Structure 1
Amino acid sequence: MTGTVWDRGEPRLAGPDTALRAELRTAAQHASGNVPVAVATDTAGQVLEGMRGRAFDSAAVVAVLDGDRLRGLVTLERLLAAPAATPLGEIMDDAPPVVAPSTAQERAAWLAVQHAEPTLAVVDDAGRFAGLVAAPTLLGVLLEEHDEDMARLGGFLGTAATARSSTTEPVLRRLSHRLPWLLLGLAGALLAAVIVGSFEEQLGQEVLIAYFVPGVVYMADAVGTQTEALVIRGLSLGIGVRRIAVREVVTGVLLGAFLGGLALPLVWALWGRADVAVAVALALLAASSIASLIALALPWLFHRFGKDPAFGSGPLATVIQDVLTVAIYLLVATAVVL
């Protein structure tokens, strides 16, 4: 072999940097050491001859090294255009853009685009050459990041491709995604009916109590749905539930207090029953507060287990909220009115 071009396997990182190769979504994950490598004194002809018959992950750029340190990069276009006797030191870019192994993949890809480079060199903190990120890989990173950005703008989890697939999927697959949760909702509705039936005697004594069951259930659902929408949107933007949990719980309690405070004089004035009005107000406060907690917990659990909250957390939250709201209201009404 006339030149000093050779194959390199995995990027050679020493010490703590070795672990960086395993990190996802970093430059180290995409860097390949199986690329043409030479020294500054090698000529263009020697390098081209040495590259013949060899398989590289990417041959668009030759890395010029001094030992294991990067000195510059030579594009294949420059290599082919140069006379055969030209040393690489004369045609290399001695200040190419480089990134650390821990650099985020999106930042690395955009750096290559901004410098109009077909590849990107990865160099560790000690200046050692760790490999090159090839142009197809950079393009794939940009497409992936664009897909995720579009997903975040749309307010859903995962990727735009996943969301698009769930939007255009066949009818049977739609049913398989939705029907189990709706069947669970049906079971919850039957359970709510059983709970109402268990208060038959109390409702027989004061039928006015039954008038407010739908209203209290609806208001609790509405409060929970607002919280759930905020949580799912936050998760899609990378905002953890812990960051909003306290404020959202406090908001749910305040909403319940406001709605209860508003309902109390209205029910009292329209039906002339202070005890029923107090029962409705207390039920709204308790149900709205609990609805916020449920709406926080369920999307978080779905997200924690790698499931899309858009399919299951809504129906499941509705079931739990409705059953609890009915039970809370009838218990409060029984205690206050009867």
Structure 2
Amino acid sequence: MVKTSVRLLASLVLLASFPAATAQEVPGRPEETIPAQVELMYERGLQYLAKSQNEKGSWNDPVGGEPGVVGLCVAAFLAHGEDANNGRYAKNIRLGIDYILSQQNDKNGYIGSSMYNHGFATKALAECYGVLDNPKIAPALKKAVDLIISAQKRNRFNAWRYTPDSHDADTTVTGCQMVTLFAARNAGIGVPDEVIKKGLAYLATCRGKDGDYGYTSSSGGKPTLTAIGSLCYSLAKEKESKGYQASLAYLKKNMDYRDRYYPYYYEYYMAQALFHADEAAWREWNTRNIRYMSTIQSQDGSFPGNQGPSFNTAGALLSFALNYRYLPIYEK
């Protein structure tokens, strides 16, 4: 595809202008045809996000001012291979990153008012590091990663929950921080192996005999939580254990699941979990997901749901961003 090739070339040329120590590698994607339906939905979704973004760089819906949601919206642009400096959506990406930076506490590096926000916002900074020409990103990212690490040290479970000072933990917040730490590593930020090992050890305590993950323990497992736990083990290159294989089998049994309470959060993680675990399973699920998403996208390009159109749309787009595979976190 000509458009895809041009977009990728632009990204590679841009990366060549940054020092090797700071630039993260943006991988190419296999020479596969992007499904036309995916490209149509993605374009419409990005157009919606671009048009509805405000001058501050956030969105005006109920959750659109949360820096974590802004981070997911920025990721949606980057995952399509958009040039962050000179492309058609460069202004939207830059505004989003500027907004995230404006929400960071200068003293401790905390972004927003919850570790959910901090995690997804930090991940966006990591994905822009070495790609977006903004000297403020590097120190902000380092501070943000340091806060994640220090929060784990203060937590009695060696994991994470709602605030940096939380002493309890759950799989969703922990998974968010873990994926963010892997993205930071991809960007060249140092993350001690011990931090990853402790995070994985906590997640293992929430995995049931059938491979399903619960919220704060091994009981009450759900596909959404299992996708989160499985993805973390994949990114850590820990795929050989019986527990991991049991989780994969559980996810395969629940290919038609849809989360009633957190739609798009499930799809966001399920796409990545299956892709890293079993590409054939991902292809089957991806086909179903494309079909489903095509039936619910609104005329203006947004997606419906109970979390606000900015989050809904970003989450939906990211659920089929693996058809493009531009972000380093999507590489196996």
TM over 0.5: no
- Between Structure 1 and Structure 2, the one with more strand by share is 1
Structure of greater Rg: 1
Q: Relative contact order, CA 8 A, sep 6+: which one is greater?
A: 2
- Between Structure 1 and Structure 2, the one with more helix by share is 1
TM-score by length of 2: 0.19
TM-score by length of 1: 0.19
